[in-house]
Structure 1
Amino acid sequence: MTVSDAYSPPLFSIAPMMGWTDNHYRTLARLITKHAWLYTEMLAAETIVYQEDNLDSFLAYSPDQHPIVLQIGGRNLENLAKATRLANAYGYDEINFNCGCPSPKVSGRGCFGALLMLDPKFVGEAMSVIASNTNAAVTVKCRIGVDDHDSYNELCDFIHIVSSLSPTKHFIIHSRKALLSGLSPSDNRRIPPLKYEFFFALLRDFPDLKFTINGGINSVVEADAALRSGAHGVMLGRAVYYNPWHTLGHVDTVIYGSPSSGITRRQVLEKYQVYGESVLGKYGKGRPNLRDIVRPLINLFHSESGNGQWKRRTDAALLHCTTLKSFLDEVLPAIPDFVLDSFAFKEATGREDLFADVRRLLPPPYGKESSKALERMPTRPVILDEEE
């Protein structure tokens, strides 16, 4: 039994987003949903290793954030092994390896992220190294392809090789390929076409593995549609950041079938204020500052009465407020009481038929001849540090 077995299954998870899914945002998200799986921002293994004396500021989180997944990236096996061991003290429920980030900082100079999909043998080795240094489950997040390496069989080769060489049995699939030159990370989230048919074909061709779908899903209604169509899990990103209340507020009831918590945004802010005051400046040199702590709150009243004034007051208040209490005292009058004290009503927006025709578009099955992909891969030694 893994630690993650103690929690609801990862039917719904919040994507790791650089600069966004920090400890502050995850604290807010957990106040709204008790069951969604939370992911950290991607942390390079080198960062964890080189910041060994300052790990709390990168890896610490409150116990109520469980279930929580640490996403790491990197290409050096020694650093991946050491970073995993250092993270063990923090008790993450899973460790996820990033094979999907198209950022030039990662796939270019860093030589990891989505670029690793072109080296599945290494990814399999890396996952074995990570798994051998932790008791947590290990997973991979990837794209459906990279540049011109975007055929369904190439995706299957990647899945087959990684799962054959390591204990990895769960893949989070962003259903767009990555274009590593000519497109920014934001363009890579919208310009390459979504190919949901590749994802659902993986369910058919790898029945012993688990797959979570990611990309282009913007509401709990659409997440539920994916699950009803056979996905083992659904991951949402920007939608839950830009509209946290009207997405996360429905996860527990719609996805997990749990009773509504009955929490209001006024109560969420009261709890978040306690958290914010406790961490303000905690790590020295003014880190985190008030702006860091307030940032996850900006979209809490998305599309509600008073939202525009709330955002204008926020900009002004951050110029002079020094505590979260003083900030909230100044900006909250912009929001009517009926908004502050209302519950998350049942969500009715979203494309319930998003995956209705996907089975008709499935590519041909991954042939048995493709199972020889592992034999075609060159053998490379796994290099570990002396402690191994």
Structure 2
Amino acid sequence: MVNSAGHALFASLTSVVLKNFIYWHIKHSRKLYWYSHKCLCYKESIMVATRYPPPWFSVAPMMDCTDNHYRTLARLISKHAWLYTEMIAAETIVFQKGDLDRFLAFGPEQHPIVLQIGGNDLDNLAKATQLANPYGYDEINFNCGCPSPRVAGKGCFGARLMLDPKFVAEAMSVIAANTNVPVSVKCRIGVDNRDSYNELCDFIYKVSSQSPTKHFIIHSRKALLNGISPKENRSIPPLKYEYYYALVRDFPHLRFTINGGINTIAEVNAAQTEGAYGVMVGRAAYSNSWNLLGHVDSAIYGAPPSGITRRQVLEKYQVYGDSVLGIYGPKPHIREVIKPVFGLFYSQPGFGLWKRKADAAFQYCKTIKSFFEETLVAFPDSVLDSPIVEAPQGFPDVFANSKSLLPPSYIVREEELLYAFREEGQSEYSH
């Protein structure tokens, strides 16, 4: 008979052997798993990279903002910024498949463009991806960051999905299996009291190790799902850029884009100087589009200044606007098409008068051309005909300071290795 000491020694040796076996199996089977995906993803990445510059700068997906109208105007200002759609629910795509142009169509000039979808049903995510493929998006992004109660409520999706990384990995695998373009995840740094750096790393580790996801867009605030508004969720939770830069440090094989609280080109450049792969800007790119997007091509991508003026942009936008007015019956209304134009004149002389003229013109103008003829007289020629000036300064030291706050390096815990081993084994047997 084996005595108790023998039992203890046997258990200890078994534990060591098991750990080593798990580590070896994960390391080598994952190599095979990633090799099969790497060939496809590499071809896709090369295909996109040769067509367009990298996503060093992108405009965040924003509900009721980054629609076709805004993206058309944005592309007239910047040729290189990556544009995102509004989040479109997978169910919307599936159940509106007879009217898909209304939700998915875009002009060819909008490339490079990313479709962001949301959802919590794998079948619908697969179908939605398949239905979106003919439109030719350059990437598909999965929303794991929206804190809106309509989206992130119990049983829904958005930021709440960060609490279920297993499902997110499955969703990303399903999306990737149904498209031939790269896929990415947009998420927060945490949700409610699940906001430690290790918990964020666990989410990144599980999703990236169990799906083809290699690119994460990180909104550097956590989401509060306690009933505060989406607007409050963009200001009340504190920014923690140190979490973003710690991810860059701890997952060097992945790509991370930083998002949240970045408002100027100087801050974009500062974030990249500190090691950010890409920078995503939201509200500032919408409300102050001329002063922000106007500098992207030259300051971020090194292109020569375009010399374009607001008047030239509006002349081209007018042609687009008049071509889409009423294309879906009463929609879009002239007010919807003009909405993005406000960002061209942020804080400019004549802006207040122009808004008053616009409010009146909405009542009787039937075309974008007549609207501009009625309202643009509010601006002096110096505003309409001056090219973009030097980029305004920001607060570039904010990211340098974050480097002194980095949390300790992430170490994959034993339970995470077991999780990856178990999921990998299930995946192998399911095939």
In 2, Cα distance between the equivalents of 1:319 and 1:261?
Answer: 35
TM-score, normalised by the number of residues in structure 1? 0.96
Q: Is 1:24–2:69 an aligned residue pair?
A: yes
Partner of 2:336: 292
Q: Is 1:170–2:215 an aligned residue pair?
A: yes
The structural deviation recorded for 1:110 is: 5.8
The structural deviation recorded for 1:182 is: 3.1
Residue of 107, 127, 145 corresponding to 1:62: 107
- Unaligned stretches of 5+ residues in structure 1: 383-388
In 2, Cα distance between the equivalents of 1:31 and 1:357?
Answer: 35
Q: Which moved more, 1:118-127 or 1:305-314?
A: 305-314
In 1, Cα distance between the equivalents of 2:327 and 2:67?
Answer: 15
1:75-123 residue CA offsets vs partner (Å, 9 max, x unmatched) = 0000000000000000000000000000000011561000000000000
CA distance 1:362–1:73, shift in 2 (3 Å) = same
Partner of 2:297: 252
Residue of 348, 358, 365 corresponding to 1:314: 358
Q: Which has the larger radius of gyration?
A: 2
SS of 2:399 mapped into structure 1: coil
CA distance 1:329–1:374, shift in 2 (3 Å) = farther
In 1, Cα distance between the equivalents of 2:327 and 2:233?
Answer: 36
In 2, Cα distance between the equivalents of 1:299 and 1:224?
Answer: 22
1:264-308 residue CA offsets vs partner (Å, 9 max, x unmatched) = 00000000000001111112x211111111111122111111111
Residue of 196, 202, 212 corresponding to 2:257: 212
Partner of 2:374: 330
SS of 1:275 mapped into structure 2: helix
In 2, Cα distance between the equivalents of 1:55 and 1:352?
Answer: 42
Summarize the alignment of residues 361-376 of structure 1 with structure 2, pairs less than 5 Å apart.
Answer: 361-369=405-413, 372=416, 375=419
Question: AA paired with 1:322?
Answer: K
Summarize the alignment of residues 1-388 of structure 1 with structure 2, pairs less than 5 Å apart.
Answer: 1-2=43-44, 3-5=47-49, 6-108=51-153, 111-283=156-328, 285-369=329-413, 372=416, 375=419
Question: AA paired with 1:86?
Answer: L
TM-score, normalised by the number of residues in structure 2? 0.86
CA distance 1:78–1:140, shift in 2 (3 Å) = same
SS of 2:398 mapped into structure 1: coil
Q: Is the 8 A contact 2:58 2:281 kept in 1?
A: yes
CA distance 1:51–1:336, shift in 2 (3 Å) = same
Question: AA paired with 1:85?
Answer: Q
In 1, Cα distance between the equivalents of 2:415 and 2:388?
Answer: 48
SS of 2:190 mapped into structure 1: coil
Cα RMSD over matched residues? 1.6
Q: Is the 8 A contact 1:14 1:236 kept in 2?
A: yes
The structural deviation recorded for 1:377 is: 9.7
Q: Is the 8 A contact 1:157 1:373 kept in 2?
A: no
In 2, Cα distance between the equivalents of 1:288 and 1:12?
Answer: 29
Q: Is the 8 A contact 2:149 2:227 kept in 1?
A: no
CA distance 1:345–1:164, shift in 2 (3 Å) = same
The structural deviation recorded for 1:184 is: 0.8
The structural deviation recorded for 1:4 is: 2.3
The structural deviation recorded for 1:376 is: 7.5
Question: AA paired with 1:286?
Answer: P
1:188-232 residue CA offsets vs partner (Å, 9 max, x unmatched) = 000000000000000000000000000011111101100111000
Question: AA paired with 1:36?
Answer: A
CA distance 1:155–1:10, shift in 2 (3 Å) = same
CA distance 1:374–1:340, shift in 2 (3 Å) = farther
Q: Is the 8 A contact 2:210 2:420 kept in 1?
A: no
Q: Is the 8 A contact 1:140 1:171 kept in 2?
A: yes
SS of 2:153 mapped into structure 1: helix
In 2, Cα distance between the equivalents of 1:215 and 1:374?
Answer: 34
Partner of 1:386: none
In 2, Cα distance between the equivalents of 1:93 and 1:220?
Answer: 24
Q: Is the 8 A contact 1:12 1:37 kept in 2?
A: yes
SS of 2:92 mapped into structure 1: helix
- Unaligned stretches of 5+ residues in structure 2: 1-42
The structure richer in helix per residue is: 2
In 2, Cα distance between the equivalents of 1:312 and 1:374?
Answer: 63
Question: AA paired with 2:94?
Answer: V
In 2, Cα distance between the equivalents of 1:377 and 1:46?
Answer: 32
1:219-251 residue CA offsets vs partner (Å, 9 max, x unmatched) = 111011001110000000000111000000000
> Percent of aligned positions with the same letter in both sequences?
65
